[in-house]
Chain A
């Protein structure tokens, strides 16, 4: 299905994000993700001391890396890359060995507790192939997420990438992530202190592995 001349990526503009979790739940519904695990979630941290205190957040999902360590390491080739850059998991080839989970620097993979196979975000490739946007992008109330083809210089995402400073998670891992953030805060990007919001607890994230 994937077209060869496409290169899919996502930009998340934190200046427009309100940490409302619409993406979290849209993803849950689209992927029929069981409880306990999430392919998309919201990370929120608080920084500063009263009264100079602020909250920073970061929607998290698979980076669909250009150099995907998970795909390299998968012993059964269940994890593979499409020509358009999307990193897939073939559910029928996955043996649930968790090697990919250990390989992923971004903690985005999980064992589906009902099926005992590994899953993650794959940019809703079934929707993309039908000309639809990923579920999270479509539902975002403030249009903070932009998805598209970075090989097309006229696409909205290419223009945004050309005119804005963006960052990726753990650049030093040299995986070339394809989820770009605008105005992300360092505290929210660091891997410590995963707390999804201020009315529940960090246990949610810890349960993911």
Chain B
């Protein structure tokens, strides 16, 4: 492939009608008719002088948007979006803007700390040097090497933590455990089984009819900014009709042409009844089903016949009339797509829900077409050689009872450790906070507190948090603005890209990057480990990561990324219908509407509605608890950002006024939510919170936002202001911020909320392994 010059970039930009090829390199990029530059620059407020800048990748949520840090005197003073990044195209959300808070949080950890004495969690720490910390860890881990498979590494997204996986495998353990499976495993497994790729990307900007199943792309999505923009483009530029099905009012459902409230847990029945209508009325794409699925139209129609609109009306609460009308409209309006996210699949029937909704796209031929439901596209990164071989699977890495789960969930790990099904000698937690983020906080706390279960816990984190508080030793990691990595994500524009995370300012004090930590520890533990960490610099390692992407290397490789922040092939266009050349990546090469792997394990092989029994027998004061994400907080990740906490610091319990009246609850009352006792459960778990009466919620549902109710996590997250004297004592001085005395949300506001996840029992979908967050029945009463 030829070199891509700046001239080529401009040419493509001018020729393209899509927003794809925005001019690069932060020059004056607006068209001649516009006076203003659309991003990529910033000036000092007083002097008006341009600020220096460096592009990088935002890590405040999973989306990985391209950002630009503006710098004055070695300090980041503003963060903006990178106009040349395919995902966010110059925009940056509230969380991305607040990245400065993450970098300059006065509570961030800057020295290794060791638990002084006593039990874990007593907050008695002494600061130690890196040498002392490494000595202790290397000695402990070298001794543990006699039983390497008992080393357990917990991280956030395992797919993004290649260094952690490498470290674990090099040590000789298969137990590199990611925790994103807690959220989206069921969706990933459902899509993988059906079309051979994990995940999806609805082409919202080009769609004419969008069916929203519990998804909320305007507030929360793994590709938030990119999908929100494309959703709005779809409805504003393309006049797409939007029909939303949900259990509560969201910023997305309020923008729909129609919103229908669905009884909790019945999404699959709704989708299957609509599919039934499409089959019965002969509105399906017969040629597509014949050529690209492994079932016949007749077979499918026969299977779906049980899901009549009348049955669906009785169970979902959506009328048969509406089901028939929307099914007919969807089949008749091409292109159309569904959009779903974890709120559809975080049930015990989650994989089935996902497959049922996918089926609507399949039978109408809206698969991988412009405006339809597309397969995710992203670049694969190389494994730098030599790569450590993957040790044989363990109970923890591949639990036999969850045969399809391909990214293990921390919550099942904790249960197995507690049940002593797998022993642990050393636990390392990296950038993950399972005490806060997992279901059943008590379970995770119990395990981490018990030194017979976890003899040694190393936490690698920029901040103290609920999990690090239960460590034996803490290594202060750099924040994302001081770190390097290559970031690839499913592209909302369906054109793959490579984004660089680079250090925009020097690491503060003695904070170290995970590359340094793993390399230095491997060099001390030795025993063969060190050969896998022989890269002299993180840049050398990252060059090896991108070595297979020839277009990028011709454009200049890492040097190009350091200058531009992101690269994509400007000649690439969305590859709609890629399956027509070579079929789908499934065993049959077709869309596996009938899944033999599911049949082999005695699961329903065709998309099936499996009712959630506990929802059908709700008692008078029993409700279904829904925990939802917002555009402001990313679970436990953004709690140290003051600008975000100022907006979202509390999470009152949403209750429908009709329900509240029945239960004698008024707006602002303190209410107690108790997890309904089921057989086999050890303890009662309950929380108290404030009632927030809203018309925007199903009468059988209570809802609470995620991301609040933090503990052990510092002044910002816990809403505790500092005095002027305390602020002047903060070291280094770069972290002294007079705003710390203005923190108001706990004392002058309504408080810092409570973590609702702590009362959710551990309960994975038996197929996907993803946590059934949505299955929780709680007793609601005035406290």
Contact = CB atoms under 8 A, between A and B. Distances in A.
Interface of A: 1, 15-16, 18-22, 24-26, 28-32, 34-36, 46, 48-51, 53-56, 113-114, 126-133, 135, 138-144, 147-149, 152, 154-156, 196-201, 203-204, 207
Nearest to B65: A141
Interface string B633-671: 000000000111011111110101110000000000000
Contact of B642 (A35, A141, A149): A35
Given A22-B92, A46-B695, A200-B749, A36 B744 contact: yes
A127 B254 CA distance: 34
Contacts of B93: 20-22, 139, 141
Interface string B26-37: 001000011111
Contact of B249 (A46, A152, A156): A46
Most B CB within 10 A of own CB, among A1, A32, A133, A148: A133
A133 B97 contact: no
B186 interface: no
B742 A34 contact: yes
Interface in B688-715: 692, 694-699, 705, 708
A18 B232 contact: yes
B357 interface: no
A143 B236 CA distance: 11
Nearest to A19: B251
Contact of A50 (B48, B649, B696): B696
A149 B97 contact: no
Given A36-B742, A135-B78, A197-B632, 12 more contacts: A20-B631, A28-B643, A29-B100, A50-B699, A54-B249, A126-B43, A126-B45, A129-B48, A142-B229, A197-B647, A199-B708, A200-B649
Contacts of A21: 93-94, 631-632, 647
B79 A29 contact: yes
B24 to A, nearest CB: 17
Contact of B696 (A46, A129, A133): A46
B98 A25 contact: yes
B90 interface: yes
Rank and list the top 10 A-B pairs by shortest CB-CB distance, nearest first: A35-B742, A25-B97, A199-B705, A141-B91, A25-B94, A53-B695, A18-B218, A55-B254, A21-B94, A142-B232
Given A28-B643, A46-B694, A22 B97 contact: yes
Nearest to B647: A21
B50 interface: yes
A5 B9 CA distance: 35
A132 B249 CA distance: 37
Given A29-B100, A30-B78, A200-B650, A149 B695 contact: no
A34 B748 contact: no
22 contacts: A18-B251, A20-B218, A25-B643, A26-B92, A35-B744, A46-B694, A50-B658, A53-B249, A54-B254, A55-B696, A114-B742, A129-B48, A132-B37, A139-B81, A141-B88, A142-B229, A148-B35, A149-B35, A198-B696, A199-B650, A200-B650, A207-B744
A148 B36 contact: yes
B41 interface: yes
A142 B229 CA distance: 5
A200 to B, nearest CB: 5
B697 A201 contact: no
B19 to A, nearest CB: 10
Nearest to A138: B39
Nearest to B261: A51
Contact of B94 (A22, A126, A130): A22
B246 to A, nearest CB: 10
Contacts of B656: 50
A126 B70 CA distance: 15
A148 B359 CA distance: 47
A129 B50 CA distance: 12
A140 to B, nearest CB: 6
Given A30-B78, A55-B251, A142-B229, A200 B647 contact: yes
Nearest to B696: A53
Contacts of A34: 738-739, 742
Interface core residue of A1, A32, A127, A128 (most chain B CB under 10 Å) = A127
B326 to A, nearest CB: 15
Contact of A201 (B34, B219, B743, B749): B749
B97 to A, nearest CB: 4
